Structure 1
Amino acid sequence: MLVRANSVMLECQVEGTPGCDWLVLSHSIATDLTMWDEQVRVFGDRFHILRYDTRGHGGSHAPPAPYSFADLEADVIGLLDAFEIERAHFVGLSLGGMIALGLAINHPDRLHSIAVCDARPDSPPAFRAPWDERIAVARNEGMPGLVASTLQRWFLPDTLVTQPGVGEHVARMIKKTSVDGFVGCAAALQHLDYEAGLNRIVTPTLLLAGDADGPIPGINLKMAEAIAGARNAVIPGAGHISNLEQPRLFNEALAQFLDDLSAPLAQPRRA
């Protein structure tokens, strides 16, 4: 269904068990809400689940680029308001994990917890520069021009051989992403700046990453030092899109975190 949030029409799916705590799922750049199919299957009997396509992705509308993380945060708050969700557990991967950090810094009153998966809080030059080339490819060749390089960057080589369906699924999502949506979110990534606010996060936090996701496991250790009480988890045999590459291990880590949170979940921790 299309839902208006923050003046943008966003594609959403509501699943799971009404009456349970809400679980909101936010995907990476150049994917869509279908990347969470396995998590919906596993967690649907314990949570009321809202997953959505980020602006410019999947079935959501694509405002003109660029976008900011303030825009992406406001989209989520608009969705929570539209569905009358007072608080939710928020699980985000890559771009979605960065949105989770922003929500925890700026809107802690709307959260039970966050799971920050395969994400970072900042945009140093080595991270920022490659997005210029990716933006140029998207504009000059269209999104199909990004498929091969993105798959190589996101997954272990063996995964693309032994699990060809994973690569095919991701390729479809990349091709479906609008150029404006990709360029808009890439611009947000180039201006990512949540590191200074990490020590203000009081929401229960899981930092999760594939063990082969470049610098992210090490970055998570540093984030865990800044976020009081944060839990760190590493997924063996996974690169950047850990929920697709190792879904069982991803689900186990997420379930352990959610199970260990005390109930009822009413207030975030105080620093």
Structure 2
Amino acid sequence: MSESKDVRANGITFHCRVDGPADAPWLVFSNSLATDLSMWDPQADHFSRSYRVLRYDQRGHGRTEAPAGRYSFATLLADALAVMDALGVAKAHFCGLSMGGATAMGLAQQAPARLDRVIVCDTPCASTPASAQQWEERIVVAQKQGMAPLVEPTVGRWFPPETLAANPQYLAKIRRMIAATPVNGFVGCAAALGDHDYRSAVASVTRPVLFIAGEKDGTTPAAMRQMQGELAGSRYVEMPGAGHISNLDQPDLFNRALDDFLRA
């Protein structure tokens, strides 16, 4: 069973997609900045055989409303819970990447009763003064020039040079997603990314956590290995050759890592 849904949650309308058997456990996927729920297509295809897969476009992304203003992660966490409420999801496994990964970690700390297993991908789970400055610079570009000037620099940060040279089909899809991101949504979520910290309380998490990072995602793998070392019982898996969008660079390995973790 597969259906597209628009639901009212936390004051705005969210676009969602639900795939898989009605009686299966819920598995939620949360997208990164400047993408939409279709970034999870390889995971939805695989996991909808065994799980009730919920994907949603985060606030300001895809076909979800994009209110003006700077968003906070408190709002993004409330959004995720409100979407789950609107669809009758009492408890779910939750997987997010980058902005979605920080959303997953925030929920694990603040709403553990709503989550079962948690998968945090390609995020250090905290901003730094340097990253906050970078986000402010990108916000100015988006406000003045729109998303077009941000497409190639973003793709260049997200994907290793050898992936760009090989030019897999999904790169064209990613470029379209970045270009199509509403400026309000980019600005709002970039502001949240420039001011968050779920890193310092990682040891307090009580849910089972799997950390995943692309091997070539800059300093992120080191940050995530450190978090895994601080969170008793958690796991860390590195995707060889993958960059920031590790689920698309290594979909089969990514799916296998999730499968192993969810069945543990």
Which TM-score applies when normalising by structure 2? Answer: 0.96
Structure 2's unaligned 5+ residue stretches are: none
| Residues 112 and 207, structure 2, Cα contact 8 Å, conserved in 1 | yes
Paired AA for residue 61 in structure 1: E
Instruction: Kindly report which structure 2 residues correspond to 1:84-123, keeping only aligned pairs within 5 A, or say none.
Output: 84-123=88-127
Partners in 2 of 1:183 and 1:38 — Cα distance? 28
Query: Residue 137 of structure 2 aligns with which residue?
Result: 133
Query: Residue 42 of structure 2 aligns with which residue?
Result: 38
Query: Residue 264 of structure 1 aligns with which residue?
Result: none
Partners in 2 of 1:134 and 1:119 — Cα distance? 18
- 1:76-104 CA-to-partner distances (Å, cap 9, x unmatched) read 11011111111100000000000001000
Paired AA for residue 96 in structure 1: G
Query: Residue 228 of structure 1 aligns with which residue?
Result: 232
Query: Residue 74 of structure 1 aligns with which residue?
Result: 78
Deviates more, 1:231-240 or 1:139-148: 139-148
CA change 1:74–1:57 in 2 (3 A) is same
Query: Residue 177 of structure 1 aligns with which residue?
Result: 181
Distance apart, 1:253 and its partner CA: 1.1
Secondary structure at the residue paired with 2:29? strand
Distance apart, 1:123 and its partner CA: 1.0
Distance apart, 1:140 and its partner CA: 1.3
Q: 1:237 aligns with which of 220, 235, 241?
A: 241
Secondary structure at the residue paired with 1:249? helix
| Residues 201 and 228, structure 1, Cα contact 8 Å, conserved in 2 | no
Q: 1:28 aligns with which of 32, 36, 49?
A: 32
RMSD over aligned Cα atoms: 1.0
Query: Residue 259 of structure 2 aligns with which residue?
Result: 255
- 1:169-205 CA-to-partner distances (Å, cap 9, x unmatched) read 1011011110010000000011111122212100110
Query: Residue 53 of structure 1 aligns with which residue?
Result: 57
Partners in 2 of 1:166 and 1:81 — Cα distance? 32
Structure 1's unaligned 5+ residue stretches are: 261-271
Query: Residue 216 of structure 1 aligns with which residue?
Result: 220
Paired AA for residue 25 in structure 2: D
- 1:124-178 CA-to-partner distances (Å, cap 9, x unmatched) read 1222221122111111111111100000000011212323312111011011110
- 1:43-94 CA-to-partner distances (Å, cap 9, x unmatched) read 1111001100001000000111200000000001101111111110000000
Secondary structure at the residue paired with 1:76? helix
Runs of 4+ in 1 over 3 A off after TM superposition: none
**Count of residue pairs brought into register by the alignment:** 260
CA change 1:23–1:66 in 2 (3 A) is same
Partners in 2 of 1:70 and 1:197 — Cα distance? 15
Secondary structure at the residue paired with 1:31? coil
Query: Residue 263 of structure 1 aligns with which residue?
Result: none
Deviates more, 1:177-186 or 1:118-127: 118-127
| Residues 101 and 125, structure 2, Cα contact 8 Å, conserved in 1 | no
Paired AA for residue 188 in structure 1: A
- 1:212-245 CA-to-partner distances (Å, cap 9, x unmatched) read 0111111111111222211000000101000111
